[in-house]
Amino acid sequence: EQYPDGVGNYESFIRSNWLGGRTTDCVGLIKGYGWLDPNTMEIEYGTNGMPDISADSMYKNAAVSGSIDTMPDIPGLAVWKSGHIGIYIGNGKVIEAMGTKYGVVKTNLADRSWSAWLEIPYINYNKGGK
């Protein structure tokens, strides 16, 4: 759901905890990185070849992916389940935007029922240290 319908009973919580700060949803966390101009440190909508797409579209567009039980231990891969995406940081940990009440958090990979992993399209993984 999107604003205003998705806010529901959380309006007071949002106003007291998040209003005036930088916030994001799960795929926005990834797009914010992709759209960042490293020279100005400004996020520029739709830049750097990364389109404004959903978590599910990002997964569907991935050229490299697999079921979660085949995921290599490579920080920077994304983890996905229907409607949600996070970033694997290694050692069984994930960074994800977990919703209005929690914000962006670090979670355990094994605790969150991810179904697949992927290399995020539009990001250069610089394989081989080059």
**Structure tokens belonging to residue 36:** 């960042």
| Phi, psi for residue 3 in degrees, rounded to 5 | -60, 140
pLDDT given for residue 99 in this prediction:
78
Indicate the pTM of the whole model. Answer: 0.81
Q: Are 71 and 79 in contact (CB under 8 A)?
A: yes
pLDDT given for residue 3 in this prediction:
52
Quickly state the pLDDT bin for 4 (edges 50, 70, 90): low
Residue 12 has pLDDT above 90, yes or no: no
Region 24-34 average pLDDT: 90
Residue 10 has pLDDT above 80, yes or no: no
How many other C-beta atoms are found inside a 10 Å radius of the C-beta of residue 58?
22
Give Cβ neighbours of residue 111 (< 8 Å, ≥ 6 apart).
none
Of 79-88, 92-101, 103-112, minimum mean pLDDT range:
92-101
Quickly state the pLDDT bin for 6 (edges 50, 70, 90): low
CA distances from 60 to 6, 37, 55, 89, 105 (A): 25, 26, 9, 21, 25
Quickly state the pLDDT bin for 122 (edges 50, 70, 90): confident
Give Cβ neighbours of residue 106 (< 8 Å, ≥ 6 apart).
89, 93, 94, 95
| Among candidate residues 107, 106, 103, 89, the one with its CA nearest the CA of residue 28 | 103
pLDDT given for residue 125 in this prediction:
82
